[in-house]
Structure 1
């Protein structure tokens, strides 16, 4: 039997243990050899022992059924136990236990035993009552547990919209293990008899207790406070759940306590019907999808269409003789729900007052924001909305230089003066990391010293980056607010929407960090720490300020925005995105300008199907986001482990670890890899809590230079053309595999099979290669793994686009629009006239955004001085797609006359001032 240490996830461990138990019990029921019989019995005994520590946290099959199966085995009823275990394993695999009772006796009739949940039609699955589990926390004996469960069972009614089963655990620690292990749990009932410590010594389950933090406070806590503390702890790890507290304490004592996610307190009573109704109501509140429901109802109404959109109600298709195939492909519902009307209960995205408004309010609750806005044309538009709403012409904005191009264009639209921030380079893999906090602080302090801090408006960073690097969001905001107390933060979380629904990942999201910071700034402890640090830093130099962790003033304003591509990492139709706002000054300062920017960039004919998918996607993550994200991380971890431990794959491939992608100085925890073949799994919690940067485990960057193929060739000619595997991010010598909430273990297995097949083919190819062919292969490998071009930093804006030479900000808007006049521009050939001009000492300035794919970030922006390092990098990349570059003409640059004219105008303006 595999060691527990080989498993990253307790859920995977449970699944595999039941599968192993089924195989062993079936084999034992058929085995006649005495020696094999003994071996099977020993294995089964070990598996039952392992599962006995796991099953108390699940309602199915339930501990009474589990104990009965174990007794069957101990009594020698091998055929009976094989039958029961097979039934349980099948039900767990197919999910059939969610919709019907599963009989475990051999003489029971079960006509649906082969009815796989996944094979049911969508209509059949939609008709079934959703299933969930309720966790009861109370230290009771078996008889009392049966009494509690039977009383809850008696409350069920045919008209109940959901069906649930109860799980009983004795202690606060067991409850925390349960909600992190059992994704079926949707509600918790904390009763007066709960204890503190768990007696379960299962190694993989004990890891969940790291979320508790320091145990000293718990040890000193009075038992009557355990229930309230449990509600607070669950809010920390799974805030979407509902908790109910049964207490013997008085109203006055309870009123002053922080009860976390507690929805209602029941005082010393056994009113099971009231509890039952509250549990159903709490789940129903998350299950609502107001706009999707309104759209479904609209599609059922008979209407006469005298409006735009001939496709509405499918009329232009059903009447057609030539496009019936479109109607057959999509089906009728999508057209029945298509309309341009904003009446009849469907609401307006631009001025929501009905179901869209309610849907956005529910999304705000789910993602922890103060306001949430839907977008139907992607996060590129969301970014421009936020920038235009907050940034005025002449404002200084600090921008991650290798961020998405929508941010750069947003700076042009807003008329911002941009200070580009350089990320640390990963030259070996031709990609950038993330912007060190020290670099951000340095630029802010330089602007302060130049007397420009009042003009600094926003810090814009990508979290997480395409390659999976995640900032310590709260620390960045804390230290920046210590320098500029009203700084606005825009966190581009296009690839990070799923993070809200993982306890580990959530702590590095913008909304969670903003909420924590708002609470922290008001605390007496923070005020005292701030006052003490101010005294220590009274005569501090810039170097001192760079070296210390700065504490923001209690009067600082928390102003955070996050843009998320819901369609990229959660369930939504393409281009479905959200803007999340947590800005203390939104109502007084931003609301009107935000509304105008939203109107500017949002279509007056938004796609209702996208809006409905955002609504339903929010419903999904509130009810099963924890489960799906957990499985997503498990799939990525399984992929990492499989590649890292496979001897053949190690010859040609390498999974990049946190140590490869994050320098040691930014990893305070010292964690360099999530999996090591010798040490096994590393708990991510510590590094995600402490380090400057962490690596999102769901993104697996694979170095492929050892194959002799560059990343683009490996993606298109090998993975896509030959095996049908789709990816969309490469670098010069890497490819990126991203798991998502739809990734299955089968998908991971297929990818491993493909990589093994590729490695075997390379082995065969090299075995048969001639000396010259082998030499050619070795040179290609060396070129990709050793002779890599260094990544260029941002050079600088030309003086014509800078207000002064004190600080590096530049007027990107002026440069962008200057290029609209063709007489201001010229084209120079990369290896001809451009090279010659640079050798002659001319200062050349880009008139366009130059964005090579890969790597996909601008290496030149309008107004930027072209450096030799940038040209060397462009030549070394050897990529086919470079946006903004004309291969037939060359690189577009400003003429010297245009630059001279600008400098002259600038001198006249300066003299006049």
Structure 2
């Protein structure tokens, strides 16, 4: 299937533009045209931007430097900057009269311009070949192409993996169905570092390096690294690169558990920032801006600030002032953008964390673009980046036998994002709006808006909501979340992302279709028509505020400790735990926020919270508690262990 790639020629010189469109169109018919280049015109800035906004198949723009626009001194430069701000993935060429004009454009819009043609040198064949080459570079998938080439070479495997391209599975009466299910190409492409032409993820110098450079350009980073064991590992790699034992960092308590694991591995001293809480719906949001600014002022010796933007529920920070405040104190900023990696490719979602000035950004490409599970990216914009140290830490966590299909999927996901991401995301936004209206029309279910999700104290923080993440209030439906998820799954073949005690979360992605929207709406409408009486909405007990650290999390985690029961013989919170120092990370899920981290002092409020959850919230998973004979235990430091920890006096 040949794609459609429209090239927009912008000029108010009607005769010249007509000649250019005719000349390029004739060349497109005569020469090989693998990307389906076609050419259209616009004569005004607004008309050009309307076409770019409306047409997701626009791939390149040619702007006549002679363009005149009332009220604008340099209309071509203004248009170039608008295009770059709106859709930075588009290729942009300026048509010049002479080299003096080129110097002017370079001074005013060099970041936006990919190249130049000379207006009076109407070499349509040459222009067409350059545009084709530009599209070829943008849509290249160096690693994926080389992987396909190798598979087609049909080499005999005398190396790992042991299934030898699937030959151990093929024809087996016991496991042959796995070969059929997965497919021959997938198995033939499951290769090892014994194939030099496929490069090395641990030390890329060939096609993996080329693919990572293309990704950096696409996402707006100085450097990009592919990760095949998820954003969880990506976060840990960055932590170990930036933080030495005892270094201080500021972190959102509501961050992913991998961040808390990174604190343990790096030996860092964390300053936990309590996130906002929507008590009505049991949703944990961003850290209030005032809290972040106060923490930056109080901890100018911090090395790192890490934030999650957007959150699982789609809440995203106004990052620019936060990053500027951190940088003013010499603090590096990491943004976990696991749920927001698509944002670069549609203006409705921007600015991205990189565009806002973040030094490091991690993205779960598999969550929101078309990569396989575990496939992620690390983007770097840190001007002081130590690539050697980063590589040593990256290799510490990366398998020496990475899954090459995952790397190929990252290559393909980036290609799709730059070539058709705008069009697909535009469709997703329209479907999200349509689905929101349909759900609200049921009368039993309601999609929560930003004002519903934000606590009052954060209304002026500039928080925005990702419209592709729908949090649905089900409290008027008469269903519990468990009942609703069961009905949707068993009766209507629908699986949702997550839930709280009164909400479910729906994710819309590039893969969302109108048919899926219709089926979900039909299911919710049918359930609404059952007209169950609204139920009394229970609430999760409020998570207690962070107490204090008695030692570094790493030091507590690596001690043997002792295990004490959470409840005493009468089923009450075990008073013997009060004042003790926890060795593990204890996380009720949902919501997934650690109630205790290693090194944290246990107090009455924490004990009461855990005990209440254990007795009343049977659907909550309690990660980090040890189980023995049906009883739950907390691992805590022995007194002599705490007394011998070298850093304990730092905490007072």
Tell me the TM-score normalised to structure 2 length.
0.92
Are the equivalent residues in 2 in contact too, given 1:233–1:260 (CA < 8 A)?
no
Are the equivalent residues in 1 in contact too, given 2:578–2:604 (CA < 8 A)?
no
Counterpart selection for 1:331 from 167, 183, 201:
183
User: Are residue 129 (structure 1) and residue 2 (structure 2) matched?
Assistant: yes
User: Are residue 856 (structure 1) and residue 581 (structure 2) matched?
Assistant: no
Q: 1:254: how far off?
A: 4.5
How far apart are the structure 1 equivalents of 2:64 and 2:49? Answer: 15
User: Are residue 817 (structure 1) and residue 571 (structure 2) matched?
Assistant: no
- Residues 877-896 of structure 1 correspond to what in structure 2 (within 5 A)? 877-886=617-626, 888-894=630-636
What corresponds to 2:308 in structure 1?
462
Cα 1:836–1:393, aligned 2, differ >3 Å: closer, same or farther? closer
What corresponds to 2:25 in structure 1?
153
Are the equivalent residues in 2 in contact too, given 1:566–1:572 (CA < 8 A)?
yes
What corresponds to 2:573 in structure 1?
835
- Residues 87-102 of structure 1 correspond to what in structure 2 (within 5 A)? none
What corresponds to 2:523 in structure 1?
754
User: Are residue 358 (structure 1) and residue 210 (structure 2) matched?
Assistant: yes
Q: 1:405: how far off?
A: 0.8
Aligned length in residues: 641
Counterpart selection for 1:560 from 352, 359, 367:
359
SS in 2 for 1:167: strand
How far apart are the structure 1 equivalents of 2:136 and 2:220? Answer: 19
What corresponds to 2:353 in structure 1?
510
How far apart are the structure 2 equivalents of 1:618 and 1:628? Answer: 13
Q: 1:474: how far off?
A: 1.4
What corresponds to 2:464 in structure 1?
694
- Residues 407-422 of structure 1 correspond to what in structure 2 (within 5 A)? 407-422=259-274
How far apart are the structure 1 equivalents of 2:132 and 2:65? Answer: 22
Residues 719-728 or 250-259, more deviating: 250-259
User: Are residue 176 (structure 1) and residue 49 (structure 2) matched?
Assistant: yes
Q: 1:853: how far off?
A: 2.1
Q: 1:428: how far off?
A: 0.7
What corresponds to 1:233 in structure 2?
82
How far apart are the structure 2 equivalents of 1:387 and 1:757? Answer: 48
How far apart are the structure 1 equivalents of 2:374 and 2:284? Answer: 26
SS in 1 for 2:342: helix
Q: 1:236: how far off?
A: 0.8
How far apart are the structure 1 equivalents of 2:219 and 2:487? Answer: 39
How far apart are the structure 2 equivalents of 1:744 and 1:833? Answer: 50
What corresponds to 2:400 in structure 1?
604
What corresponds to 1:523 in structure 2?
none
Are the equivalent residues in 2 in contact too, given 1:709–1:733 (CA < 8 A)?
no
How far apart are the structure 1 equivalents of 2:647 and 2:415? Answer: 60
What CA deviation, in whole Å up to 9, does each residue of 1:777-828 have, x standing for no partner? 55xx2233xxx34522433135x42xxxxxxxxx11122122x34xx33223
Counterpart selection for 2:389 from 567, 587, 593:
593
SS in 2 for 1:598: helix
Cα 1:747–1:166, aligned 2, differ >3 Å: closer, same or farther? same
What corresponds to 1:653 in structure 2?
445
Cα 1:830–1:513, aligned 2, differ >3 Å: closer, same or farther? farther
Q: 1:385: how far off?
A: 0.8
Cα 1:255–1:170, aligned 2, differ >3 Å: closer, same or farther? same
How far apart are the structure 1 equivalents of 2:646 and 2:621? Answer: 40
User: Are residue 496 (structure 1) and residue 340 (structure 2) matched?
Assistant: yes
Are the equivalent residues in 1 in contact too, given 2:368–2:510 (CA < 8 A)?
yes
Q: 1:402: how far off?
A: 1.6
What corresponds to 2:95 in structure 1?
246
SS in 2 for 1:706: coil
What CA deviation, in whole Å up to 9, does each residue of 1:242-293 have, x standing for no partner? 1121233543544544244322222331332222122111111111110001
What corresponds to 2:63 in structure 1?
190
- Residues 425-440 of structure 1 correspond to what in structure 2 (within 5 A)? 425-440=277-292
How far apart are the structure 2 equivalents of 1:795 and 1:909? Answer: 18
How far apart are the structure 2 equivalents of 1:254 and 1:793? Answer: 57
How far apart are the structure 1 equivalents of 2:220 and 2:45? Answer: 25
- Residues 718-729 of structure 1 correspond to what in structure 2 (within 5 A)? 718-729=487-498
Q: 1:665: how far off?
A: 4.9
How far apart are the structure 2 equivalents of 1:908 and 1:161? Answer: 64
Counterpart selection for 1:741 from 494, 504, 510:
510
How far apart are the structure 2 equivalents of 1:909 and 1:759? Answer: 57
Are the equivalent residues in 2 in contact too, given 1:395–1:457 (CA < 8 A)?
yes
How far apart are the structure 1 equivalents of 2:359 and 2:23? Answer: 47
Q: 1:699: how far off?
A: 0.5
User: Are residue 480 (structure 1) and residue 326 (structure 2) matched?
Assistant: yes
SS in 2 for 1:583: coil
Cα 1:624–1:727, aligned 2, differ >3 Å: closer, same or farther? same
Are the equivalent residues in 1 in contact too, given 2:586–2:623 (CA < 8 A)?
yes
Are the equivalent residues in 2 in contact too, given 1:655–1:700 (CA < 8 A)?
yes
Q: 1:146: how far off?
A: 5.1
Q: 1:342: how far off?
A: 4.1
Q: 1:655: how far off?
A: 1.3
How far apart are the structure 2 equivalents of 1:255 and 1:439? Answer: 42
Cα 1:379–1:831, aligned 2, differ >3 Å: closer, same or farther? farther
Are the equivalent residues in 1 in contact too, given 2:237–2:397 (CA < 8 A)?
yes
How far apart are the structure 2 equivalents of 1:563 and 1:173? Answer: 36
How far apart are the structure 2 equivalents of 1:846 and 1:833? Answer: 20
What CA deviation, in whole Å up to 9, does each residue of 1:642-674 have, x standing for no partner? 223x1xx22x22211100112455344xxxxxx
Counterpart selection for 1:782 from 525, 536, 542:
536
What CA deviation, in whole Å up to 9, does each residue of 1:733-753 have, x standing for no partner? 110011011001221121111
SS in 1 for 2:166: helix
User: Are residue 625 (structure 1) and residue 421 (structure 2) matched?
Assistant: yes
SS in 1 for 2:83: helix
What corresponds to 1:792 in structure 2?
543
Are the equivalent residues in 2 in contact too, given 1:232–1:259 (CA < 8 A)?
no
Counterpart selection for 1:730 from 471, 493, 499:
499
- Could you say which structure has the larger radius of gyration? 1
Cα 1:877–1:431, aligned 2, differ >3 Å: closer, same or farther? farther
Q: 1:228: how far off?
A: 2.1
What corresponds to 1:569 in structure 2?
368
Are the equivalent residues in 2 in contact too, given 1:712–1:731 (CA < 8 A)?
no
Cα 1:843–1:834, aligned 2, differ >3 Å: closer, same or farther? farther
How far apart are the structure 2 equivalents of 1:753 and 1:908? Answer: 59
What CA deviation, in whole Å up to 9, does each residue of 1:846-895 have, x standing for no partner? 34322222222222222333344443462554424221235622241526
Q: 1:513: how far off?
A: 1.3
Are the equivalent residues in 2 in contact too, given 1:572–1:617 (CA < 8 A)?
yes
What corresponds to 1:713 in structure 2?
483
Q: Unaligned stretches of 5+ in structure 1?
A: 1-127, 198-218, 448-452, 515-558, 669-690, 767-776, 802-810
Q: 1:319: how far off?
A: 5.8
Residues 143-152 or 311-320, more deviating: 143-152
- Residues 1-12 of structure 1 correspond to what in structure 2 (within 5 A)? none
Residues 269-278 or 407-416, more deviating: 269-278
Cα 1:307–1:905, aligned 2, differ >3 Å: closer, same or farther? closer
How far apart are the structure 2 equivalents of 1:342 and 1:177? Answer: 51
Are the equivalent residues in 1 in contact too, given 2:8–2:39 (CA < 8 A)?
yes
Are the equivalent residues in 2 in contact too, given 1:395–1:416 (CA < 8 A)?
yes
User: Are residue 616 (structure 1) and residue 412 (structure 2) matched?
Assistant: yes
How far apart are the structure 2 equivalents of 1:278 and 1:419? Answer: 53
